[in-house]
């Protein structure tokens, strides 16, 4: 996509078409990557081992931590690049891209070292038991300790490409890694490695897939830098101005904290679920994978919306910005309500896909499925209000309003969701724990809409 075509896309293309151009490849990428994460759980479930399933549930929180770290430079740098493009400051955008690349490398390397040195205490803190610790170590060592650099770098490069108008290339890299993982999973789990090492096989397949996806995205980024304001040259990175560095972190830090707080909430869920039993933890882990399907679609929609909103916000076309926000909101709510109908109707058969009840400990597997189907029916009700929270946060990130993004993240997780989690779990047990999601997200969504309205009103008053 050449520079003039990108300008046309951001400035004049009808909003449904512009949003589809950027969002559809991103949604496909999100779904494929979600599927390959679910494939790990699916194939591990073929063993009928609920403890393996519980162990991979624990590692989900560390996987989300990688996403949080990638948001620091990916969302922070990407949204700033889109705004600088709207202001016709391509040279400054290039320095932001290079700074994001090197910052991401340094951050991911430090992450790998820290987790390596504190792996066992971290896993026990997350809720590992003597029955699950070894499986959790196997998965974490390959996917998180060794795999943090290619994983975080891939996600960061995808954000930078997407916000420069190269959504298809970003999605192709992430999707290609996901498809490869689906192929390699059964090969490593059931053919190459001996029985009992299925979790190690899944981890190896994920690591190899992420490394190859990262290699492709590096190639796509280098090729895009010929026509887009992108760079991974050190000489460009050191040229970043203090104002742009501040602008990057103003959005990047709240975005990382937003995902980090979501991770903290998942840690709390795992700790409370494991306190009931490993089977409750395994059931909750299945649900947390299934419910990510509508979330993945809606996050992809919001990621496609972000560069359009950012570009038109900085260029002064606020009417187009508001129309984009409104159209994306209608689309996301439609996806959410449809998902409620589908998951309420098919909760039992959907959760049953993730655990073989005729292999291993059949009684434990059946109890796990029972917990999972109950939890899914409760938690899927949260889908519309979860979307409102995502949508509002992405809008504020696009406008470069880090303070509002941070405030929303803190209130959503620390004021509403996590306190409701402990309260309802204490009052109603595991059913209360599952119910905390729709209650907490609904309160967060009301706050988010009021906050976005305030931010837009303040902007209009300043014009």
The pTM of the full predicted model, rounded to 2 decimals, is: 0.72
Domains in the chain: boundaries:
3-458
d(Cα 128, Cα 135) in Å, to the nearest integer?
10
Average pLDDT over residues 331-345: 94
User: What secondary structure, in 3-state letters, does the chain show?
Assistant: CCHHHHHHHHHCCCHHHHHHHHHHHHHHHHHHHHHHHHHHHHHHHCCCCHHHHHHHHHHHHHHHHHHHHHHHHHHHHHHHHHHHHHCCCHHHHHHHHHHHHHHHHHHHHHHHHHHHHCHHHHHHHHCCCCCCHHHHHHHHHHHHHHCHHHHHHHHHHHHHHHHCCCHHHHHHHHHHHHHHHHHHHHHHHHHHCCCCCHHHHHHHHHHHHHHHHHHHHHHHHHHHCCCCCCCCCHHHHCCCCHHHHHHHHHHHHHHHHHHHHHHHHHHHHHHHHHHHCHHHHHHHHHHHHHCHHHHHHHHHHHHHHHHHHHHHHHHCCHHHHHHHHHHHHHHHHHHHHHHHHHHHHHHHHHHHCCCCCCCCCHHHHHHHHHHHHHHHHHHHHHHHHHHHHHHHHHHHHHCCCHHHHHHHHHHHHHHHHHHHHHHHHHHHCHHHHHHHHHHHHHHHHHHHHHHHHHHHHHHHHHC
Find the range with the poorest average confidence among 33-47, 161-175, 317-331, 447-461. 33-47
Residue 22 has pLDDT above 90, yes or no: no
Find the range with the poorest average confidence among 50-54, 241-245, 356-360, 374-378. 356-360
Residue 20 has pLDDT above 70, yes or no: yes
Residue 95 has pLDDT above 90, yes or no: yes
Residue 463 has pLDDT above 60, yes or no: no
pLDDT tens-place string over residues 49-79: 767 777 777 777 777 788 888 889 988 888 8
Average pLDDT over residues 270-295: 86
Residue 338 has pLDDT above 60, yes or no: yes
pLDDT tens-place string over residues 102-124: 999 999 999 899 999 998 888 88
Q: pLDDT value at position 31?
A: 80
pLDDT tens-place string over residues 292-330: 888 889 988 998 898 899 888 888 888 899 899 999 999
Q: pLDDT value at position 1?
A: 45
- Confidence label for 361 from pLDDT (cuts 50, 70 and 90): low
Percent of the chain with pLDDT over 90: 34
Residue 176 has pLDDT above 80, yes or no: yes
Q: pLDDT value at position 71?
A: 86
pLDDT tens-place string over residues 434-446: 999 999 999 999 9
Choose between 128 and 386: higher pLDDT: 386
Q: pLDDT value at position 109?
A: 93
For the CA atoms of the chain, what is the radius of gyration?
21
């Amino acid at each position: 996509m050449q520079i003039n075509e990108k300008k046309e896309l951001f400035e004049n293309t009808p909003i449904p078409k512009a949003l589809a151009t950027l969002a559809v490849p991103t949604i496909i990428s999100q779904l494929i990557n979600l599927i390959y994460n679910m494939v790990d759980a699916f194939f591990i479930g073929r063993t009928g081992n609920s403890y393996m399933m519980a162990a991979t549930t624990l590692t989900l929180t560390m996987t989300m931590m990688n996403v949080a770290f990638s948001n620091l430079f990916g969302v922070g740098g990407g949204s700033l690049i889109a705004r600088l493009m709207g202001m016709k400051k391509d040279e400054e955008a290039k320095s932001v891209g290079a700074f994001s690349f090197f910052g991401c490398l340094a951050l991911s390397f430090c992450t790998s070292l820290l987790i390596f040195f504190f792996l066992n205490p971290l896993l026990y803190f997350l809720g590992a038991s003597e029955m699950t610790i070894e499986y959790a170590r196997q998965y974490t060592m390959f996917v998180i300790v060794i795999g943090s650099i290619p994983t975080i770098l891939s996600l960061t490069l995808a954000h930078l490409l997407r916000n420069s108008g190269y959504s298809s290339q970003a999605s192709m890299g992430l999707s290609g890694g996901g498809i490869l993982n689906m192929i390699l999973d059964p090969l490593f789990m059931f053919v190459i490695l001996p029985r009992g090492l299925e979790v190690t096989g899944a981890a190896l397949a994920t690591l190899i897939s992420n490394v190859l996806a990262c290699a492709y995205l590096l190639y796509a980024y280098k090729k895009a830098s010929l026509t887009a304001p992108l760079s991974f040259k050190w000489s460009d990175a050191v040229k970043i101005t203090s104002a742009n560095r501040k602008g990057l972190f103003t959005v990047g830090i709240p975005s990382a904290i937003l995902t980090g707080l979501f991770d903290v909430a998942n840690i709390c869920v795992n700790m409370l679920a494991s306190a009931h039993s490993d089977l409750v933890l395994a059931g909750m882990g299945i649900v947390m994978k299934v419910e990510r399907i509508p979330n993945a679609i809606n996050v992809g929609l919001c990621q496609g919306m972000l560069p359009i909103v950012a570009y038109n916000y900085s260029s002064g076309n606020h009417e187009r910005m508001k129309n984009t926000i409104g159209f994306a909101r209608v689309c996301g709510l439609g996806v959410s309500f449809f998902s409620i109908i589908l998951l309420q109707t098919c909760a039992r058969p959907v959760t049953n896909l993730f655990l073989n009840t005729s292999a291993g400990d059949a009684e434990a597997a059946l109890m796990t499925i029972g917990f999972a189907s109950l939890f899914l029916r409760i938690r899927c009700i949260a889908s519309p209000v979860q979307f409102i929270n995502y949508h509002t946060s992405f809008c504020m990130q696009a406008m470069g309003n880090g303070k509002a993004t941070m405030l929303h993240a803190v209130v959503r997780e620390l004021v509403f969701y996590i306190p409701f989690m402990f309260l309802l779990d204490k009052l109603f047990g595991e059913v209360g724990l599952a119910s905390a999601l729709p209650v907490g997200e609904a309160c967060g969504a009301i706050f988010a809409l009021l906050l976005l309205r305030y931010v837009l009103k303040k902007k209009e008053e300043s014009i």
